[in-house]
């Protein structure tokens, strides 16, 4: 439909609402449900690989789509994306089984006996019941607030505005898309490694470092002249950390709320992530329009990440204290 639009409200309806719903339905909550269903051991690595696949798509498509948009217009990009996603429908239906049980197997690392049969319930009721249980926990709000900051500092700021930031520094749009693709390469490495680390180390400590280093890289960027060296350093350090927060966040959610409720809770904190992204997309654009620079947006986002690095240390604090006392 977006290939036929001609007015702003149609753009809002297609890309803002329809694409937003579609993207939201296939994000971290789905990856968590799949990983919990298929893995008992090495679940962190599974979440890391599923999340890192987002970076693989970015690496493949961003330079291609930027070139298509520059040569034939942005509506051609809509046709390319529609064709690719349409081609994936039969692949998913034919080759992706619903669960290990459908193959006569148990999840990786566990016998089939522990796999409960699927419950026949109202998904809307399950979602809001999960929200009700989560909202009564301080840990839910800590997870949601830190993931809000995650979305603010990734999809909302860098994912939305980095190309415009590059253009402000005289870099053509296609080359700027290449920088985002380079971020995707290091994101693939960093998020996969984060999954491996999550299976072995304290998720709170990992998140402390991830948010802290991300914050420092965002604060430092506007103080550079954005030459080849500074762009390369930023691509490496920020790219390694871009979505590395997901595996330990999912692991903490599993720890706090249990494997049964975790997918629903992760979906709600992912909603907070997307709200953070929306806030940064609008806020950074407003800052750029009013001041002529993204300086304030990057410094504010980096500062929020430093705050998040401290907040994550408080997650499940009462549980840890009770366990230590016992």
What are the Cα distances from residue 81, in Å, to 43, 74, 101, 274, 279? Answer: 30, 11, 33, 21, 26
CA atoms within 13 A on the CB side of 216: 9
Q: What is the dihedral of CA 256, 259, 260, 264, to 10 degrees?
A: 70
| Burial class for 132, CB neighbours closer than 10 Å (0-12, 13-18, 19+) | exposed
Q: Is the distance from CB of 194 to CB of 248 less than 8 angstroms? A: yes
pLDDT-derived band at 111 (thresholds 50, 70, 90) equals: low
Q: Is the distance from CB of 180 to CB of 162 less than 8 angstroms? A: yes
CATH tag, 2-325:
1.20.1250.20
Of residues 53 and 28, more confidence is placed in 53
Query: What sign has the CA pseudo-torsion 235, 236, 238, 240?
Result: positive
Tell me what pLDDT residue 207 has.
Answer: 96
> Which pLDDT tens digit goes with each residue over 238-256?
988 888 898 899 889 988 9
> Which pLDDT tens digit goes with each residue over 125-155?
877 888 888 888 999 999 999 999 999 999 8
Reply yes or no on whether the pLDDT at 157 is more than 70. yes
Which of 85, 90, 89, 75 is CA-nearest to residue 1? 75
108: which strand partners? Answer: 39
Token digits of residue 292: 């002529």
Other CB atoms within 10 Å distance of the CB of residue 10: 14
pLDDT-derived band at 214 (thresholds 50, 70, 90) equals: very high
> Which pLDDT tens digit goes with each residue over 279-319?
999 999 999 999 999 999 999 999 999 999 999 999 987 55
Q: Is the distance from CB of 180 to CB of 57 less than 8 angstroms? A: no
CA–CA gap between residue 263 and residue 257 (Å, rounded): 10
The label of the residue with tokens 């009564």 reads: 136
DSSP character at residue 108: B
Tell me what pLDDT residue 44 has.
Answer: 73
> Which pLDDT tens digit goes with each residue over 223-240?
999 888 898 899 888 988
Token digits of residue 199: 């299976």
Q: Is the distance from CB of 208 to CB of 10 less than 8 angstroms? A: no
Reply yes or no on whether the pLDDT at 321 is more than 50. no
Reply yes or no on whether the pLDDT at 55 is more than 70. no
Tell me what pLDDT residue 264 has.
Answer: 85
Tell me what pLDDT residue 216 has.
Answer: 95
Tell me what pLDDT residue 83 has.
Answer: 85
Kindly report the average pLDDT of the chain as a whole number: 82
What are the Cα distances from residue 50, in Å, to 28, 209, 247? Answer: 9, 22, 10
Which of 156, 98, 141, 138 is CA-nearest to residue 275? 156
CA–CA gap between residue 227 and residue 248 (Å, rounded): 33
């Amino acid at each position: 439909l977006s290939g036929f639009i001609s007015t702003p409200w149609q753009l809002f309806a297609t890309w803002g609402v329809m694409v937003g719903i579609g993207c939201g339905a296939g994000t971290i909550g789905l990856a968590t449900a799949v990983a919990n269903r298929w893995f008992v051991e090495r679940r962190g690595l599974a979440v890391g690989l599923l999340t890192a696949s987002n970076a693989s798509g970015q690496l493949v498509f961003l330079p291609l789509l930027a070139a298509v948009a520059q040569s034939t217009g942005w509506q051609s990009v809509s046709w390319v994306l529609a064709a690719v996603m349409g081609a994936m429908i039969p692949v998913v239906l034919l080759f992706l089984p619903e669960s290990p049980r459908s193959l006569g197997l148990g999840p990786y690392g566990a016998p089939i006996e522990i796999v409960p049969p699927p419950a026949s319930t109202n998904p809307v009721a399950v979602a809001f019941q999960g929200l009700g249980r989560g909202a009564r926990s301080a840990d839910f709000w800590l997870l949601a607030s830190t993931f809000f900051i995650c979305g603010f500092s990734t999809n909302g700021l860098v994912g939305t505005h980095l190309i415009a930031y590059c253009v402000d520094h005289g870099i053509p749009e296609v080359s700027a898309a290449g920088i985002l693709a380079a971020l995707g390469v290091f994101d693939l490495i960093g998020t996969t490694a984060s999954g491996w680390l999550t299976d072995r180390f304290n998720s709170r400590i990992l998140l402390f470092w991830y948010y802290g280093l991300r914050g420092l890289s965002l604060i430092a960027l506007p103080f550079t002249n954005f030459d080849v060296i500074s762009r390369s350093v930023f691509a490496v350090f920020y790219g390694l950390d871009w979505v590395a927060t997901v595996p330990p966040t999912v692991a903490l959610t599993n720890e706090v709320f249990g494997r049964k409720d975790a997918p629903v809770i992760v979906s709600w904190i992912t909603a907070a992530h997307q709200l953070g992204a929306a806030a940064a997309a609008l806020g950074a654009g407003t800052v750029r329009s009013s001041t002529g620079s993204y300086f304030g947006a990057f410094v504010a986002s980096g500062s929020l990440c430093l705050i998040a690095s401290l907040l994550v240390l408080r997650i499940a604090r009462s549980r840890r204290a009770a366990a230590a006392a016992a």
